[in-house]
Amino acid sequence: MTILVTGGAGFIGSNFVLDWLADLQESVVNLDKLTYSGNLKNLANLRCDPRHIFVRGDVGDRNLLAHVLDQHRPRAVINFAAESHVDRSISGPEVFINTNIVGSFCLLESVRSYWSGLPPADQTAFRFLHVSTDEVYGTLSKDAQPFAEHFRYEPNSPYSASKAASDHLVRAWHHTYGLPVLTTNCSNNYGPYHFPEKLIPLMIVNALSGKPLPVYGDGLQVRDWLYVKDHCAAIRRVLDAGRVGETYNIGGWNEKTNIEIVKTICALLDELRPKIDATSYAAQITYVTDRPGHDRRYAINARKIEQELGWRPAETFETGIRKTVQWYLDNSEWVEHVQNGSYRDWVSFQYGQEMVT
């Protein structure tokens, strides 16, 4: 048996593929465009593993999708592929529309065509799992209840609006065509292989290189942090036992202000990699102009997945953030690699195409 993962060279997707192949024998076809955030270094341990089949391609390429589906005949598709960074969506929304909306549409249509040609038992067993975000629900005031699955969609950024649109398409492909879909909406992930443009890895990497730690606005915005491996386990649980057509919110019950996160990282670095002059990394914290339209608070009510499917996060924030900081200290070569662009040269050489950035 085989599954098809899209975006499996990115942060969450690569953790998912690595964990899957560490635990299970089932092959993974990994279709990824290798944009600036997709990195085959994340999957270096699988280079000689015949269960991992990498295909460089775009979820918007329906010819390629038809070929890949026909050739590999997956029993499930897990869609991680997306443009994922809110700041980039503010400065350049178009690619978010193309990949997150049009790309998801193309993927749904290709999968629908493949699925409708399957024998009835395989059609029933098939799953299309769409990985989405808590940002589709908009922002919460300080004392509001955390996002539950029935909450209204109120996306505020070009990124979250594009993800909301894709969620609606997935829902419609189930209701209209009967495609057996599942949607997961999760909170902020952190952990290994996180591209250093997002808060946690950026702060670690900047701190170590003596750069400012840019905190947007007053730093009191709240995010609900989820260790990436817990997220991957939750996706597997939903894939195995989730009710078709349902959505599941996934979160770690770890609401923290941004400034708390940054100070925690500084304290961990002070302990694990003290500066020669014994000053704290916290001295590098710099308050900067706020993100336009910045959502104030996200928080996930994860009771549905806990009660229905018995999933619970294994990591607390304290254990997860320590592991994460240690991972970045142990993997400076990976950081250098994603920053200096040499992996892009390698990909161009390997695949004979210019990298899309």
Q: Which residues are catalytic?
A: 134-135, 159
CA-based torsion, 101, 102, 105, 107: positive or negative: negative
Reduced to 3 states (helix: H, G, I; strand: E, B; else coil), residue 353 is: coil
Closest CA to 228 of 204, 257, 197, 251: 251
Q: Give residues 5-44 in contact with ligand NAD (rule: CB under 6 A).
A: 6-7, 9-13, 32-35, 37-38
CB nearest ligand NAD: which residue?
Answer: 10
Query: Which one, 5 or 285, has the nearer CB to ligand NAD?
Result: 5
Closest CA to 8 of 54, 70, 76, 66: 54
Q: Which of 20, 105, 114, 298 binds ligand DAU (CB under 6 A)?
A: 298
Cα–Cα distance between 226 and 222 in angstroms, integer? Answer: 13
Q: Which of 54, 80, 227, 328 binds ligand NAD (CB under 6 A)?
A: 80
Position 138 contacts ligand NAD (CB under 6 A):
no
Reduced to 3 states (helix: H, G, I; strand: E, B; else coil), residue 151 is: coil
Cα–Cα distance between 337 and 331 in angstroms, integer? Answer: 10
Concatenate the DSSP letters of all residues of 243-310 into one string: PTT-EEEE--S-EEEHHHHHHHHHHHHHHHS--TT---GGGGEEEEPPPTT---B--B--HHHHHHH-
Q: Pick from ligand NAD, ligand DAU, none: which does 35 bind, CB < 5 to 8 A by kind? A: ligand NAD
Position 37 contacts ligand DAU (CB under 6 A):
no
Position 305 contacts ligand NAD (CB under 6 A):
no
Reduced to 3 states (helix: H, G, I; strand: E, B; else coil), residue 74 is: coil
Position 86 contacts ligand DAU (CB under 6 A):
yes
CB of 193 to ligand DAU, least distance (A): 14
Position 83 contacts ligand DAU (CB under 6 A):
no
Q: Which two tokens stand for residue 289?
A: 């102009």
Position 188 contacts ligand NAD (CB under 6 A):
yes
CA-based torsion, 256, 258, 262, 263: positive or negative: negative
Position 189 contacts ligand NAD (CB under 6 A):
yes
Query: Which one, 86 or 182, has the nearer CB to ligand DAU?
Result: 86
Q: Give residues 170-229 in contact with ligand DAU (rule: CB under 6 A).
A: 187-188, 198-199, 202, 214-216, 221, 223
Residues near ligand NAD (CB under 6 A) are 6-7, 9-13, 32-35, 37-38, 58-60, 80-84, 99, 103, 131, 133, 163, 186, 188-189, 195
Q: Which residues bind ligand DAU (CB under 6 A)?
A: 84-86, 133-135, 187-188, 198-199, 202, 214-216, 221, 223, 258, 291, 298
